[in-house]
Homo-oligomer: A and B are copies of this chain.
Amino acid sequence: MRNKIPDVVIRRLVTYLRILTDIEAGPDDYISSAQIGDLAAVNSAQVRKDLALFGEFGKQGVGYPILGLRKELTAILGADREMNIVIFGVGELGTALARYLTTRKETAPNYRFVVKGLFDIDPAKVGTEIEGVPVRHLNELEEVTASGDIKIGVVAVPANVAQEVVNYAISKGIRGFLNFAPVRIKVPPGVRIQNSDVTSDLQELGFYL
């Protein structure tokens, strides 16, 4: 069933959930698809259709119960589970991400990403720690992945070694990546990779300005 849901729908669902989370609501508060659409910059029919893919959550003439829908979306997106991640590369960006993700844990409400490991190959960095999480040598990855279920690897290494690091991580069982290195990485079927590249984003933006 998950195969038939387009990526773009999931991205919107994440937005809807954030919108619902940002609203203070009591048990009797409802919101219409038009209101959600307005906040998410999405057509109201789109909102209804996205939600209808997963069930009938609304009430005709009234709308969607805010708390109820929030709960449903949380369940659909698995936002109630804790998700263990590791970070590859503890340079500027990797360090910032490590701090950001470990710090946010306390502030955000249903936050659920736990940084289980930081990896680098620079001897000057291995052995240090960030927000209480030790930086290990990449070749110790298996010891971390073996212990729990690490779902996601955040790639913050230089572009020229990113493919190599991802290959290695896949061999140690990691199946999802968020890649910050400015390269397109090839992964076998069954492995997901999501790219987030500041340079490309800026360049795209630059075209229009």
A contacts, CB < 8 Å to B = 2, 7, 10-11, 13-15, 17-19, 22, 39-41, 76-79, 81, 83, 85, 92-93, 95-97, 99-101, 103-104, 108, 111, 113, 151-152, 175-178, 182-184, 186, 192, 194, 196, 198-209
Instruction: Contact check, B175 vs A209: say whether CB atoms are below 8 A apart.
Output: yes
Copies, count: 2
Q: Which of A11, A41, A85, A92 has most chain B Cβ within 10 Å?
A: A92
Q: Are A208 and B2 in contact (CB under 8 A)?
A: yes
Q: SS class of chain A's interface: helix, strand, loop or mixed?
A: helix
A195's nearest neighbour on chain B, judged by CB, is: B201
Shortest Cβ gap from A7 to chain B (Å): 7
Residues on the B chain within 8 Å of A7, using CB: 204
A64–B177 CA distance with the chains assembled, in angstroms: 33
Does A11 contact B200, Cβ atoms closer than 8 Å? yes
A190 to chain B, nearest CB (A): 10
**How distant is the Cα of A184 from the Cα of B11 in the complex, in angstroms?**
13
Cross-chain contact B11 with A202 (CB below 8 angstroms): no
A201 & B196 in contact (Cβ 8 Å cutoff): yes
Q: Please, which residues of chain B bring their CB within 8 A of the CB of A209?
A: 83, 151-152, 175-176, 192
Q: A77, B196: Cβ atoms under 8 Å? A: no
For the complex with contacts A151-B209, A192-B208, 16 further pairs of A-B residues with Cβ separation under 8 Å are A14-B200, A14-B204, A18-B200, A41-B186, A79-B203, A79-B206, A92-B103, A96-B96, A96-B97, A97-B198, A151-B206, A152-B205, A176-B208, A178-B201, A178-B205, A192-B209
